[in-house]
Amino acid sequence: MWIHEADRSAAPYATQIFEGCDPIQVYHDLLAIPVPGHTKGSVVYLWSDRCLFTGDSLSWSFAENDLNAFRDFCWYSWDEQRRSLARLLNTNFELVLAGHGGSHGAPAEEMRSRLQALVERMNKA
């Protein structure tokens, strides 16, 4: 099990600990991307350059029909979460698989555009 060192206490049984903000290849087609914000050690996992397992950092809002982040459930830093999501603009993905909130798929260009719009909304909040 992989976990960021900043959240290590949440999974003391984890066998693979990484640190810092640089993405790390955890398997040949699985990339762990640190996204501090929701927690200090939040991570998303990109599988096969298509599926982004986002945990609680990013989800789909069926009510808004758009990507969403939960300010009320941001335990570490909203500013860091905004910066982390902005860094994901360099990542191609077609499917968001969220821990909480909805999951949704669309072409990578659309997901990038929606993520850009979310980051801009977060800047105003």
Number of structural domains in the chain: 1
pLDDT score, position 27: 94
pLDDT score, position 32: 97
**Does the predicted model carry a pTM greater than 0.85?**
yes
Q: Specify the 3-state DSSP secondary structure of 123.
A: helix
pLDDT score, position 125: 74
Tens of pLDDT, residue by residue, the chain (125 residues): 899 999 999 999 999 999 999 999 999 999 999 999 999 999 999 999 899 999 999 999 999 999 999 999 999 999 999 999 999 999 999 999 999 999 999 999 999 999 999 999 999 87
User: What residues pair up with 61 in beta bridges, in sequence order?
Assistant: 66
Please report, for the domain that includes residue 118, its CATH number. 3.60.15.10
What is d(CA 35, CA 14) in angstroms, rounded to the nearest whole number?
19
Residue 22 gets which letter from DSSP? S
pLDDT score, position 64: 96
Residue 8 is part of which domain span?
A: 2-124
E strand or H helix at 47, and its extent? strand 43-47
